[in-house]
Chains A and B, each alone.
Chain A
Amino acid sequence: MPQRANIPDGQAILRVTDLVKRFDGRAVLDGVNLEVRPGETLVVMGGSGCGKSTLLRHMIGSMRPDEGRVELFGHDLAELSEDRMDLLRKRFGILFQSGALFNSMTVGDNVALPLREHTNLDDDTIDIIVRIKLELVGLRPAVDRMPAEISGGMKKRAGLARAIALDPEILFYDEPSAGLDPVTSAEIDQLMMDLSGKLGVTSVVVTHEMDSAFRIADRMVMLDRGRVLKIASRSEFEAIRDSAPSGDETTDLIRQFLRGESQGPITRRRQDTGYAEDLLEAADGER
């Protein structure tokens, strides 16, 4: 087992409390509460633009909450100095939605960068670690390529190799398998499961791919209108997915999302909010 510093068993490694974030007065996150337990894989779901990436940015301390708190490894992120925050940053890894590789460096240098920055390892050792990490994501042949020369899927895998360079205790993934072919996507899933199963890495995964979500999740959380609609174990979500319509708004909404159906509460809501308001606004403009 890797050491998991000062987190007693059963306690949360990450806790989000009443998190509110507004952009231009519009609350994108509107009172989010959730916990991530050591060693688990938590999948975050929700419609496009519902604030999943924003939630992730708060979890890694790159955005400050307007209200509420984010505690990582038992520290309130808002109260940490920049130097203390940097110490925490070395203990987690993040895979950005776009991969976010440094375009001026080769794939290998991208993976080596955190090692060069934060360890005192010599160049040969770093080189070996880089090759191991790239082999893990199936990218060893691309070590000397520039990010501009590789495909979107390869960028994501390279980003993952960089995220695990320092053997983090917790990993954040923003849509790791979006835009990948089914086989590559399944390989990434397998890799994520290996990391959590064999190395005990805690994972928070934002994803739209339901197959992948049900493969990797221990627990799942569904966001809607800036709040947590439901947070529960995978089996509970499976039960909802496989159940018949119940007439309960929340359950039906989740079922529609999980099944990816075009009819249901989500569609109805879109129809009866937006449209009428749009017309009224247009009428206001006329006057």
Chain B
Amino acid sequence: MSDGVGKRGAVRALGARVLGGLEYLGGMALLLGAAGRWAYRGAVSRKVRFGGRALAAQMVRVGVRSLPIVVLVQAFIGVILALQMSPPLKPYGQESQVAVIIGIAGFRMLGPIITAVVLSGFAGASIAAELGTMVVAEEIEAMQAMAMNPVRVLVVPRVLATLVMMVLLTVIADLMISLGGWAVSRAVLGPRVYVGYWDRMRDALVYADFVTGLILAGVFGTLISLIACHEGLKVSGGAEGVGRATTMTVVYSIVAIISAACVFTMIFFVYEI
């Protein structure tokens, strides 16, 4: 084989990848559009239902099951932050600023982002597996034949539940990070850090720190659930396809979460929010 053919092949493969990626994004955008439309129709018209029952069930499943892990992991994040930040601050006599750093880093970014990663493994993977299994068992087709739109019946409650739960869990996460930092300060770092910890944190934080974190949480929740539904609904080829969908959901979710975090942080930076 000549070099030219090899190069052309590579360019073609790259082109196919780019097209595939664009097609994927297009599919996601369509799903988002459809979900938004159904959610809107459900909000304005009593005739369109997706069932409060379904919504509640999904919230329990997404939220309650992830809660213990979020609590545990986020407390550890607080511990890690406190332990890592105090030595470099010590030479300047600024260990007390640990509380401020934990507040800002935790509320703005680590709270939402770590929660989102936990949720993509918990909720995202299980949503993808569930919908994928339904596709394989012809349940989705049966649903459509019974005049039940899968986006209305399955996607909307899952997206709404993940979004709401992501925000609520992030509030808890923020609390746990702060608590973890306080606890380790109390146990290890000494009074210069823990005396007045909560006051310093409260004085340094502004509303925007809290609110931008929650906005991010909402964005992450929407991304995770959309990716999971999209992957689940496009499953083909039996159990193997379901396995692939769950794996890809977690991979794509994490990429999407970190990309979105980067973009939003740039926006917040530029507009000094």
Q: Which residues of A contact B (CB under 8 A)?
A: 57, 60, 62, 82, 85-87, 89-90, 94, 96, 98, 100-104, 113-114, 117-118, 162
Cβ-defined contact, B141 with A100, below 8 A: yes
* Residue numbers in B under 8 Å from A96 (CB-CB): 138, 141-142
With the chains together, A87 CA to B144 CA distance in Å? Answer: 12
Q: Decide yes or no whether B23 CB sits under 8 A from chain A.
A: no
Cβ-defined contact, B139 with A86, below 8 A: no
Q: In the assembled complex, how far is the CB of residue B235 from the closest CB belonging to chain A, in whole angstroms?
A: 15
Closest to A87 in B: B147
Q: Decide yes or no whether B179 CB sits under 8 A from chain A.
A: no
Q: In the assembled complex, how far is the CB of residue A17 from the closest CB belonging to chain B, in whole angstroms?
A: 22
CB < 8 Å: which of B134, B146, B149 contacts A113? B146
* Among A87, A90, A100, A113: residue with most chain B CB under 10 A: A100
- 16 example contacts (A-B, Cβ-Cβ < 8 A) are as follows A62-B144, A62-B145, A82-B149, A89-B145, A89-B146, A94-B142, A94-B145, A98-B138, A100-B138, A100-B142, A101-B139, A102-B139, A113-B148, A117-B49, A117-B147, A118-B147
Q: In the assembled complex, how far is the CB of residue B61 from the closest CB belonging to chain A, in whole angstroms?
A: 11
Q: In the assembled complex, how far is the CB of residue A101 from the closest CB belonging to chain B, in whole angstroms?
A: 8
CB < 8 Å: which of A62, A87, A117 contacts B148? A117
* Among B49, B147, B148: residue with most chain A CB under 10 A: B147
Cβ-defined contact, B147 with A89, below 8 A: yes
Q: Decide yes or no whether B137 CB sits under 8 A from chain A.
A: yes
* Residue numbers in B under 8 Å from A100 (CB-CB): 137-139, 141-142
4 closest A-B pairs (Cβ-Cβ)?
Answer: A89-B147, A100-B142, A86-B147, A100-B138
With the chains together, A101 CA to B141 CA distance in Å? Answer: 11
Q: In chain B, residues 139-169, which have Cβ atoms closer than 8 Å to a Cβ of chain A?
A: 139, 141-149
Number of residues on chain B facing chain A (CB within 8 A): 16
Q: In the assembled complex, how far is the CB of residue A119 from the closest CB belonging to chain B, in whole angstroms?
A: 12
Closest to B153 in A: A117
* Residue numbers in B under 8 Å from A101 (CB-CB): 139, 142
* Residue numbers in B under 8 Å from A87 (CB-CB): 147
* Residue numbers in B under 8 Å from A117 (CB-CB): 49, 146-148
Cβ-defined contact, A114 with B146, below 8 A: yes
With the chains together, A60 CA to B147 CA distance in Å? Answer: 11
Closest to A88 in B: B147
With the chains together, A108 CA to B142 CA distance in Å? Answer: 16
Q: In the assembled complex, how far is the CB of residue A204 from the closest CB belonging to chain B, in whole angstroms?
A: 13
* Residue numbers in A under 8 Å from B143 (CB-CB): 102
Q: In the assembled complex, how far is the CB of residue A191 from the closest CB belonging to chain B, in whole angstroms?
A: 20
Q: In the assembled complex, how far is the CB of residue A160 from the closest CB belonging to chain B, in whole angstroms?
A: 13
* Residue numbers in A under 8 Å from B133 (CB-CB): 103
* Residue numbers in B under 8 Å from A89 (CB-CB): 144-147
Cβ-defined contact, A60 with B145, below 8 A: yes
Cβ-defined contact, A103 with B146, below 8 A: no
* Residue numbers in A under 8 Å from B149 (CB-CB): 82, 86
With the chains together, A168 CA to B121 CA distance in Å? Answer: 43
Closest to A159 in B: B142
With the chains together, A101 CA to B144 CA distance in Å? Answer: 13
Given contacts A96-B142, A117-B49, contact A103 B147 (CB under 8 A): no
With the chains together, A89 CA to B144 CA distance in Å? Answer: 8
CB < 8 Å: which of B139, B144, B147 contacts A90? B147
* Residue numbers in A under 8 Å from B130 (CB-CB): 104
With the chains together, A111 CA to B141 CA distance in Å? Answer: 16
Closest to A85 in B: B147
* Residue numbers in B under 8 Å from A103 (CB-CB): 133-134, 137, 139
* Residue numbers in A under 8 Å from B137 (CB-CB): 98, 100, 103
Q: In the assembled complex, how far is the CB of residue B207 from the closest CB belonging to chain A, in whole angstroms?
A: 42
* Residue numbers in A under 8 Å from B49 (CB-CB): 117
* Residue numbers in B under 8 Å from A86 (CB-CB): 147, 149
Cβ-defined contact, B141 with A62, below 8 A: yes
* Residue numbers in B under 8 Å from A62 (CB-CB): 141, 144-145
* Residue numbers in B under 8 Å from A94 (CB-CB): 142, 145
Known: A89-B145, A96-B138. 13 other contacts (CB 8 A): A57-B141, A62-B144, A82-B149, A87-B147, A90-B147, A96-B141, A98-B138, A101-B139, A102-B139, A104-B130, A113-B148, A117-B146, A118-B147
